[in-house]
Amino acid sequence: MRAEQDCNASIDTSVAFQDVRVVPGRSCGTCTLCCKAVGVEEIAKPGGVWCQHCVSGKQCTIYESRFASCRTFYCQWMMEKGLGSEWKPDRARFVLVKTEAGRHLSACVDPGYPSAWRRSPYYENLKQWAAEGIRRSPDLHIVDVMIGKRCIVILPDRDVDLGILAADEMVELGGAGATIEARKVKQPLVRA
């Protein structure tokens, strides 16, 4: 298992906190999909390709010294009791990841199964979560699908394929009600 989408490192002391958030009895088992579908910031691994340290898609060869982001990451299936076994990433073929303090939900899809998110019950749920995110207006929450670097934003009434999302770009929602628009914008510069 590993880290957050475009998934940023956290300090190791958060591991214990993260562990507490795992639904009792839930474990990764043989799943390693986040090592493919989700990016690893420390080695600039994009989402959608296997991490160089994952052997045969089964084993992390640097497990004891794996990156901080890998140590602190759990997918939503591990942390949300309401997600049943059909949402386990190695079955769903995508990894649900929340970022931006829960305001951005991404389905990071295994590129080997690029349409996995369109199947039932996944698509209906993504639509429902998108509608709930819009109802939070003006604090709009984003639901999108990432297939490698390709981003498809889910809106209640349509899906918006934004194409490739560059490393310095992010998704932004604007407008209100039926006029909600999804667009790519440059990430704000962070002063060092």
Chain positions contacting ligand SF4, by CB under 6 A: 1-2, 28, 31-35, 40, 51, 53-54, 60, 62, 66-67, 70, 74-75, 77-78, 89, 95
Contact call for residues 74 and 7 (beta carbons, < 8 A): no
Distance CA 34, CA 109 (A): 9
Look at residue 173 and give its three-state secondary structure: strand
Residue recorded with tokens 């981003």: 151
Contact call for residues 60 and 77 (beta carbons, < 8 A): no
Q: Which is nearer to ligand SF4, 31 or 146 (CB)?
A: 31
Please state the closest distance from residue 111 (CB atom) to ligand SF4, in A: 15
Please state the closest distance from residue 29 (CB atom) to ligand SF4, in A: 7
Neighbours of 192 (CB within 10 A): 3
Look at residue 112 and give its three-state secondary structure: coil
Please state the closest distance from residue 178 (CB atom) to ligand SF4, in A: 35
Distance CA 191, CA 104 (A): 23
Q: Which is nearer to ligand SF4, 93 or 182 (CB)?
A: 93
Consecutive H or E run containing 150? strand 150-154
Consecutive H or E run containing 135? helix 122-135
Please state the closest distance from residue 180 (CB atom) to ligand SF4, in A: 29
The letter for the amino acid at 164 is I
Please state the closest distance from residue 94 (CB atom) to ligand SF4, in A: 9
Q: Which is nearer to ligand SF4, 93 or 104 (CB)?
A: 93
Q: Which is nearer to ligand SF4, 26 or 127 (CB)?
A: 26
Q: Which is nearer to ligand SF4, 29 or 138 (CB)?
A: 29
Please state the closest distance from residue 45 (CB atom) to ligand SF4, in A: 7
Q: Which is nearer to ligand SF4, 36 or 173 (CB)?
A: 36
Contact call for residues 148 and 47 (beta carbons, < 8 A): yes
